[in-house]
Structure 1
Amino acid sequence: MNNHYHKREQTKTRNGFSSSAQLLKIKEMFPNIEVVKEKGNSFEIKFKIQPTTLSQFYDVKLTYDKFTGVKVYVLSENLAIAKNRTKLPHVYSSKDQRLCLYSPSKNEWTKEKFIVSTIIPWISKWFFFYEIWLIDGEWLGGGHNEYEVK
């Protein structure tokens, strides 16, 4: 491949995917999502997610802004706290139930990655580890909080 091709591809990657491209990919995989808002470089969607066939469904809100990133909130209920703990594990806010799914400083998710193949599976994985955490208060999902197993 010539250098001109690589430069064009790098520019595309550096700019990331547009909000509409992100939303289109999500709709392809999840046609039943509710698009609450779609404007310019941002959107807000709501959907149900079930981490395993034995799990309950959780109502989730995902907001995306091309410049500030992704935020994910649990809407369906106030999530329970493990008996030996005082707050939710791996969240930005227990009150808002805003999930912590990746570390921005480690570039685990960037605007060059599709939400549908990263963030949405990570939401399901978060709930999977949350349900295990409820049993004994040990967070097995990795990350950076005091409930993490060392």
Structure 2
Amino acid sequence: MRIPERQAGVGRQAFALRALLPAANIVLRADSLTATFELQPTSASRRYRVRLNYRHGTAPDVAVLHPALALRDGATSLPHTYPGDRLCLHLPGQWRPTMLLADTIVPWTSEWLLYYEIWLVTGTWHGGGHGTPTAT
């Protein structure tokens, strides 16, 4: 008999985020949370202010607040984003509500930012995913 995985509640998500990112601003509501925090993918990288919105049981939504994400010369759009420049961090089904945001979405966001910085210089998206052109 398989025991079903239990979804991580927003309180548990907030607790894990606070443990990982003590300086984060976390607003907790009954069934959702918003966390604003800074990430720096590498010591040579810029610091990014990021907002993570999460409603219990749904896929999280992540956007970079500052600095604004820029297009490289000749590009018409940012790679691996959804409308409104929300970050595409995983394929459908890769993230589940049983997973902690601190263990998945936060490191995936940092990784996305690293690939974004590489894309700005080289024009090639090295982050994988689906339907991503190799150069713009």
Asked if Structure 1 and Structure 2 have the same fold, meaning a TM-score greater than 0.5 normalized by the shorter chain, the answer is yes
**Equivalent runs, 1:23-42 vs 2, <5 Å:** 23-35=14-26, 37-42=27-32
Match status 1:22 vs 2:13: yes
- Structure 1 residue corresponding to 2:115, chosen from 124, 129, 140: 129
- Structure 1 residue corresponding to 2:63, chosen from 59, 73, 89: 73
Unaligned runs of 5+ in 2: none
User: How many angstroms does 1:85 deviate by?
Assistant: 1.4
Identity of aligned residues (%): 34
- TM-score, length basis structure 1: 0.84
Taking the aligned partners of 1:48 and 1:131, their CA distance within structure 2 comes to: 16
Match status 1:111 vs 2:97: yes
Match status 1:63 vs 2:53: yes
What is the aligned partner in structure 1 of residue 88 from structure 2?
A: 100
Match status 1:85 vs 2:75: yes
Computed over aligned residues only, the root mean square deviation of the Cα atoms, in angstroms, reads 1.5
Bigger radius of gyration: 1
The amino acid across from 1:73 in the alignment is A
Question: After the TM superposition, which segments of 4 or more aligned residues of structure 1 sit over 2 Å from their partners?
Answer: 145-149
Aligned residues: 135
The amino acid across from 1:136 in the alignment is T
Q: Is residue 13–residue 101 contact of structure 2 (8 Å, CA) maintained in 1?
A: yes
Match status 1:138 vs 2:128: no
- TM-score, length basis structure 2: 0.92
Q: Is residue 48–residue 64 contact of structure 2 (8 Å, CA) maintained in 1?
A: yes
